[in-house]
Structure 1
Amino acid sequence: MTGRHPVDEGLVTAVREHLARRPGPVTPERVTSALRDTGTVVGSAAMEQVAGALRAELLGAGPLQPLLDDPEVTDVVVNGPRDVWVDRAGRLHPVPIDLGDAAAVRMLAVRLAATGGQRLDDARPTVDARLPDGTRLHAVLPPVADGCTLLSLRVVRHRAFTVDELVAAGTLAPGLDAVLAALIRSRANLVVSGATGTGKTTLLSTLLSLADPAERIVCIEEAGELTPRHPHVVRLVVRRPNVEGAGEVSLADLVRESLRMRPDRVVLGECRGAEVRDVLGALNTGHDGGCTTLHANTAQDVPARLEALGALAGMSREALAAQAVSALHAVIHLRRDRGRRRVTEIAVVDRDPDRGALTVRTAVAAPEAGGTVTGPGWAALADRIDWAG
């Protein structure tokens, strides 16, 4: 596989110029129409192949687009023109793609950043953007990247799995599904924790799909990744500052705005900074049923992670613990073992009676060997969800 499209640069230029003469959004339909207008004579099957290649070149990720379209691929990383890897089933595999040279990789990164509405150049050599199809892009230019532009593309699959599908896939041990459904039904405030790529957003989308259809869910995200199957979901997305450094709308700003939108559930796609103060404040003022995801290696690491984020917001350890213990009811932790993503633990948030520090206690654990085991926090969790199972 060379990764080269059977389309010459002259044809790409002709289609690009044709689109430029007619202002408007560049859609797949317009690309196909522009191709026909160039007078290119090919058969219908070849026309669709060429149109697809042009759409990838003008709208998508060029030679990388077929990899992103592969349903088994979750990530594509580029280390050099002929050093491309994909993540399948939790493992990285090299793919034989030739992107040309270092200049071509840089041009691809700059174009993708522009497609995501971001600037990437020598003055701003790193970018974190969301492409129109939801794919998350991260790129670093030399000399910050040593040798060649580095690209990282994470595919967002716009589909919420059902609880039954997650049980069948092994993500949920039998019995955990009922506990999670009870947490949603009781409007508990939840933290979904785990390392990168463990499926936190996927699980949260599934859980939100269980919410009462009459509820209004406000999702606050850096990129629109949450896809719950629910009839009343509205989304707020951050806006980055412009080249003059003005116009930013942060996650913390959006959390405050969401409280004026008559939400039944306030959902923060990922808590990663000073917005933790606003989220805890919201969940402590009657906004039950809130959820967020958090990067942490274990459920027991969640208190330390929250304290670190609280420090960014100017919160003392004591203030953070006082807020979190009343605002957060349960932690749902995921791990990825040998490519398999699974919920390993549900824990309750508590406060150490001696030190006053925030802590978590295991309520239900799901060992790798199978089954579930209750822990010291089970009684508190069962009381919170009115468990009768």
Structure 2
Amino acid sequence: MTQPARLNGHATSAVVPVSAAPFAAKGVELDYTVVRQLHSRVTDKLSQLLTDSANVTAAYRREMAERLGREVIRDYAAGMAHAGRPVSPQEERALLEALVAGMFGAGRLQRLLDDPTITNVHILGCDQVLLHHADGTRSRGEPVADTDDELISMLQVLAMRVAATERQLSESNPELDMQLPDGSRMTVLYKVSPRPIVYLRKHSLFDASLEQLRDHWGMIDLLLYRFLTKALESGANIMIAGLAGSGKTTLLRALARTIPAGEPYITLEESRELGLHEPAGSNWVISLEALQGHGEYDTGGRRRGEKNLHDMMPITQRLGVRRVIVGETRGREIVPMLRAMTVSRGAMCTIHARQAREVMDSIVQLACSYGTDIGAEQALRMAAQGIDLIVYTAVVDERAIGGAEHRFVSHVVEVGGMRDGQVVTTTVFGPGPDGRAVPRHLPERIREDLLDVGYDLRELTAYIEAGPHNRGAWSRELHTRRVRR
């Protein structure tokens, strides 16, 4: 989503030196050997203090750790001053932040997560850190560990402490995909590459509402806002498609937040990403996540304790809810997603696709690749039966040529079942002069359902009749450098 104040500067793809990285320039350089020593002292003291304490809350444990951290750092600073090497207040603060991050956060990764100018991070080994910034530039970051082994140990501890379900990084489980407390995604590869690989993807619009996507970020206009909210209210099954980074998950979250707080629904994910069940107690979301499985393989070739989406789908149909939201369909979850849509109403999911017209092909390819019990024709029939709307999100990234990054909905396609072996579709919204979605045709399959929830189809008619002059209800122009023909 475009934010002119941040994204309209001149952007290049050059990698700048470490000293030019924003957080490195403003931060304090730390000796992490010292941090580890201080960390050990704090944990020892904390363990002694809490030995006889029962039912200690996480907040109390953190409060005690911070107090002990200040004491330990104060003693360390006094010793250094006595040795003629005084520690500045800024260094003391940085040491305390590093201690807290190591005990309750993401360790040396925490500074990257806290920096608002950083969007994504690629890490190759402990010392090759590539930072992707909001303005389109990239820079090299500071090492995140002293050795690769230390990096793996930090990630293993982080996985055990943060993951709500048991997830493990080891030689027998060399892949890790999980959500961090701030909503960022962390993917780790271990042993399958010469050095550990870590990818951090930060979600800057984790809590964005549909109104914010309309009024502030320009991802949808008023017509799309009304149509999509009424479609969801009517029980339409919606698949959101697009390229990576086009805003699919952001739009899915925003749509899901329009579901009334008192209505229970299920989120079903290979690895938890949507975060719709938080904050706890604010809604009735049943959040289910696949279990990785550990130990020996059983006779079926699966690890003991493994629970995938196929296993959990039957139970979702016995929990008394009508909506099932399946997180991004990247692989084997495509089949349970199709099954969910054929037996439920108001289901939603996301899928990768290069273009709106390629969504059905993507569904069939995934289903045939990962579903041993489903063929291409059956997958196509299930998709035509279960999906009501395909919403395609587009991204135009012109930061490399001095422009901005724009994300917007370009298509809303109604799926009308099968006819003569072909999937029948209606382009309800299609690309206007600047590529953003404008009304094209009235829906057919879900027309009666929309009328039942009070949607007035006549508000689309005037725009449809305008033909080439139809520019929808977008409140501001899309300023791109690309010349459209």
- Please, what TM-score do these two structures have when normalized by structure 2? 0.70
Contact 1:303 1:359 in 2 (8 A): no
Contact 1:350 1:358 in 2 (8 A): yes
The answer to whether residue 326 in structure 2 is matched with residue 261 in structure 1 is no
Contact 2:236 2:446 in 1 (8 A): no
Distance between the aligned counterparts of 1:5 and 1:249, measured in 2? 42
> 2:345 matched to which residue of 1?
288
CA deviation map 1:194-238 (0-9, x unaligned):
222222221111111222344212112221424389733221222
> 1:319 matched to which residue of 2?
378
CA deviation map 1:175-205 (0-9, x unaligned):
2112212211211111111222222221111
> 1:112 matched to which residue of 2?
158
> 1:202 matched to which residue of 2?
250
Aligned residues: percent identity? 23
Q: Which one of 353, 357, 364 corresponds to residue 307 of structure 1?
A: 364
> 1:140 matched to which residue of 2?
189
The answer to whether residue 411 in structure 2 is matched with residue 365 in structure 1 is no
Q: 1:59 to 1:310 in 2, by over 3 A?
A: same
Residue segments in structure 2 that go unaligned for 5+ positions in a row: 1-23, 78-87, 297-302, 398-404, 452-456, 460-485
Distance between the aligned counterparts of 1:33 and 1:158, measured in 2? 33
The root-mean-square deviation of aligned C-alpha atoms, in Å, is 3.2
Contact 1:270 1:293 in 2 (8 A): yes
Q: Which moved more, 1:218-227 or 1:372-381?
A: 372-381
> 1:329 matched to which residue of 2?
388
Distance between the aligned counterparts of 2:441 and 2:135, measured in 1? 32
> 2:465 matched to which residue of 1?
none
CA deviation map 1:121-170 (0-9, x unaligned):
3444332233454432222235x323x32111223458432222112212
> 1:12 matched to which residue of 2?
39
Distance between the aligned counterparts of 2:436 and 2:407, measured in 1? 16
Distance between the aligned counterparts of 1:25 and 1:149, measured in 2? 34
> 1:60 matched to which residue of 2?
105
The 5 A counterparts of 1:31-70 are: 31-36=65-70, 38=72, 40-41=74-75, 49-70=94-115
Look up the equivalent residue of 2:139 and give its one-letter code: P
Of Structure 1 and Structure 2, which has the larger fraction of its residues in helix? Answer: 2
Q: 1:218 to 1:79 in 2, by over 3 A?
A: same
Residue segments in structure 1 that go unaligned for 5+ positions in a row: none
The answer to whether residue 170 in structure 2 is matched with residue 121 in structure 1 is yes
The answer to whether residue 276 in structure 2 is matched with residue 227 in structure 1 is yes
Q: Which moved more, 1:326-335 or 1:169-178?
A: 169-178
> 2:236 matched to which residue of 1?
188
Q: Which one of 86, 103, 106 corresponds to residue 131 of structure 2?
A: 86
Query: Deviation at 1:69?
Result: 1.3
Contact 1:321 1:351 in 2 (8 A): no
Contact 2:205 2:250 in 1 (8 A): no
Q: Secondary structure, in 3 states, of the residue corresponding to 2:143?
A: coil
- Please, what TM-score do these two structures have when normalized by structure 1? 0.85
Distance between the aligned counterparts of 1:268 and 1:5, measured in 2? 43
Q: 1:231 to 1:58 in 2, by over 3 A?
A: closer
Q: 1:137 to 1:353 in 2, by over 3 A?
A: same
- The answer to which structure, 1 or 2, has the higher relative contact order (CA under 8 A, 6+ apart) is 2
Contact 2:190 2:196 in 1 (8 A): yes
Distance between the aligned counterparts of 1:279 and 1:75, measured in 2? 28
Contact 1:332 1:346 in 2 (8 A): yes
Look up the equivalent residue of 2:360 and give its one-letter code: P
Q: Which structure has the greater CA radius of gyration? A: 2
Contact 2:178 2:185 in 1 (8 A): yes
Query: Deviation at 1:291?
Result: 1.0
Distance between the aligned counterparts of 1:295 and 1:156, measured in 2? 17
